[in-house]
């Protein structure tokens, strides 16, 4: 791996050793990782066709075994939507059926390097499925706390991997609170709190850079709830710029369901932080996050790159989902949020570069929801 590594608190600047399995600071603050990646582009041709081709840019101890199911290097596919040429990054084509495998592969590898034998996670479904899959591959026990409303297909999937599933009544936030007690006893493999997860997700930026001929695109559109994808894309491109491999970072467009849009509300208000959003139900269950823990960090990532936040209606999500399905991209409704945002973006003016939208979750995970949309 690249230069060595410690956790740093975003609130009080305290530094904590890397090989300590903590997920937050003693002050309760969120952690980032001080880490300098290394990447030799000359070594990429012929490297494994998975995200582990970027191992020197990933913060895993050199001697640690990689926990891999062959994830990453997903297709970047040209498509024409509403008469506009775009790129679709097919991150629904992962072993567990969502981009969360990027973070899970790295985070579970780190947990195993620490000698951990059990992990807990809270999730609307996909992060839990990913953590359960990689725990199964690593031989770790895994328990996932999920909101009662999570898609049945995702719960079946977690249990099939051998994970314990705890269904929590109420909102996604109630689930996040319920897991805290368990996190005192077991390693908390949180896709929101743990910075290792973000470092796994950043490989999507490295792949886009490589697949576009070793350059950054002008615009990347992502669905955003807790921001693990948004922050991973931002981190990856920031690192590529710092390494001298990309000239500039892309503008990031984060898209939320209007029924649950705290980031959008803060962005249009010019606020530096998000506040809890009075949300109503959305078909995009993966982004139904009323109070994202890293809201301030998400807003800063968007603003620094000159990006924006869009909020799309349930009708727009349904239309984008049908459009994708009719083009052969079978994704779940949460993925359609990004494409609904992309279609809005088309209307804002002429494009100078093909925008990229990231497709995040497989449609087979949400058969019931897709059926109910008709």
Ligand X SMILES: Cc1ncc(COP(=O)(O)O)c(C=O)c1O
Q: Which does 9 bind (CB under 5 to 8 A by kind): ligand X, Zn ion, none?
A: Zn ion
11 sits near Zn ion (criterion: CB under 5 A): yes
Q: Which is nearer to Zn ion, 25 or 298 (CB)?
A: 25
Structure tokens at 253: 């467009």
Q: Provide the Cα torsion 108, 110, 111, 114; round to 10°.
A: 160
- The residue ranges that bind ligand X (CB under 6 A) are 98, 124, 126-127, 223-230, 286-287, 289, 332, 334-335, 360-361
27 sits near Zn ion (criterion: CB under 5 A): yes
Shortest reach from residue 319's CB to Zn ion, in Å:
44
Q: Which is nearer to ligand X, 25 or 201 (CB)?
A: 201
Q: Which is nearer to ligand X, 178 or 359 (CB)?
A: 359
Q: Which is nearer to Zn ion, 9 or 263 (CB)?
A: 9
Instruction: Evaluate whether 129 touches 161 at the Cβ level (below 8 Å).
Output: yes
Instruction: Evaluate whether 210 touches 203 at the Cβ level (below 8 Å).
Output: no
30 sits near Zn ion (criterion: CB under 5 A): no
Structure tokens at 126: 């996909």
Q: Which does 229 bind (CB under 5 to 8 A by kind): Zn ion, ligand X, none?
A: ligand X
Q: Which does 225 bind (CB under 5 to 8 A by kind): ligand X, Zn ion, none?
A: ligand X
Q: Which does 356 bind (CB under 5 to 8 A by kind): Zn ion, ligand X, none?
A: none
- Figure out which of the listed residues 1, 14, 118, 373 binds Zn ion, where binding follows CB under 5 A: 14
User: d(Cα 55, Cα 52) in Å, to the nearest integer?
Assistant: 5
Q: Which does 44 bind (CB under 5 to 8 A by kind): Zn ion, ligand X, none?
A: none
User: d(Cα 283, Cα 236) in Å, to the nearest integer?
Assistant: 29
Shortest reach from residue 189's CB to ligand X, in Å:
14
Q: Which is nearer to ligand X, 355 or 361 (CB)?
A: 361
Residue 299's CB is within 10 A of a number of other CB atoms, namely 22
12 sits near Zn ion (criterion: CB under 5 A): yes
Q: Which does 98 bind (CB under 5 to 8 A by kind): Zn ion, ligand X, none?
A: ligand X
Q: Could you please report the per-residue DSSP string of 75-91? A: -EEEEEETTEEEEEEET
Shortest reach from residue 228's CB to ligand X, in Å:
3
241 sits near Zn ion (criterion: CB under 5 A): no
Instruction: Evaluate whether 144 touches 122 at the Cβ level (below 8 Å).
Output: yes
Shortest reach from residue 35's CB to ligand X, in Å:
20
Q: Which does 361 bind (CB under 5 to 8 A by kind): ligand X, Zn ion, none?
A: ligand X
Instruction: Evaluate whether 219 touches 355 at the Cβ level (below 8 Å).
Output: yes
CA distances to 119, 291, 309, 314 from 225, rounded to whole Å, are 23, 9, 12, 15
Helix (H, G, I), strand (E, B), or coil: what is residue 312? strand
Place of tokens 């984060």: 254
Q: What are the phi and psi torsion angles at 39 (to 5°)?
A: -155, 125
Q: Which is nearer to ligand X, 279 or 335 (CB)?
A: 335
Place of tokens 């239309």: 319
List residues near Zn ion by CB under 5 A: 9, 11-12, 14, 25, 27, 29
């Amino acid at each position: 791996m690249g230069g060595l590594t410690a956790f740093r608190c975003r609130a009080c600047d305290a530094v904590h050793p890397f090989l300590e399995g903590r997920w937050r600071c003693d002050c309760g603050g969120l952690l980032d990782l001080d880490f300098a990646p290394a990447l030799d582009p000359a070594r990429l041709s012929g490297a494994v066709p998975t995200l582990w081709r970027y191992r020197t840019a990933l913060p895993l101890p050199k001697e640690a075994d990689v926990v891999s199911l062959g994830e990453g290097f997903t297709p970047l596919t040209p498509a024409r939507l509403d008469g506009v040429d775009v790129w679709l990054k097919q991150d629904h084509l992962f072993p567990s059926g969502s981009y969360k495998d990027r973070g899970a592969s790295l985070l579970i590898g780190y947990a195993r390097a620490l000698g951990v034998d059990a992990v807990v996670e809270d999730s609307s479904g996909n992060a839990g499925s990913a953590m359960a899959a990689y725990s199964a591959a690593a031989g770790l026990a895994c328990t996932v706390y999920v909101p009662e409303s999570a898609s049945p297909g995702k719960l079946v999937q977690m249990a099939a991997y051998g994970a314990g599933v705890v269904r929590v009544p109420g909102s996604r936030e109630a689930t996040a609170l319920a897991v805290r007690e368990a996190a005192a006893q077991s390693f908390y493999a949180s896709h929101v709190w743990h910075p290792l997860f973000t470092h796994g997700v950043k490989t999507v930026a490295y792949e886009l850079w490589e697949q576009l001929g070793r350059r950054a695109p002008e615009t990347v559109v992502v669905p955003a709830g807790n921001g693990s994808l948004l922050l991973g894309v931002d981190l990856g491109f920031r690192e590529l710029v710092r390494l001298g491999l990309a000239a500039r970072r892309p503008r990031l467009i984060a898209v939320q369901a209007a029924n649950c849009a705290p980031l959008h509300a803060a962005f249009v208000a010019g606020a530096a932080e998000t506040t809890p959003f009075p949300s109503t139900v959305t078909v995009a269950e993966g982004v139904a996050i009323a109070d994202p823990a890293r809201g301030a960090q998400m807003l800063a990532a968007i603003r620094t790159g000159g990006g924006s936040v869009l909020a799309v209606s349930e009708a727009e999500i349904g239309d984008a989902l049908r459009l994708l399905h009719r083009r052969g991209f079978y994704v779940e409704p949460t993925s359609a949020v990004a494409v609904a945002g992309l279609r809005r973006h088309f209307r804002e003016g002429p494009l100078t570069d093909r925008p990229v939208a990231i497709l995040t979750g497989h449609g087979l995970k949400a058969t019931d929801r897709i059926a109910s949309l008709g």
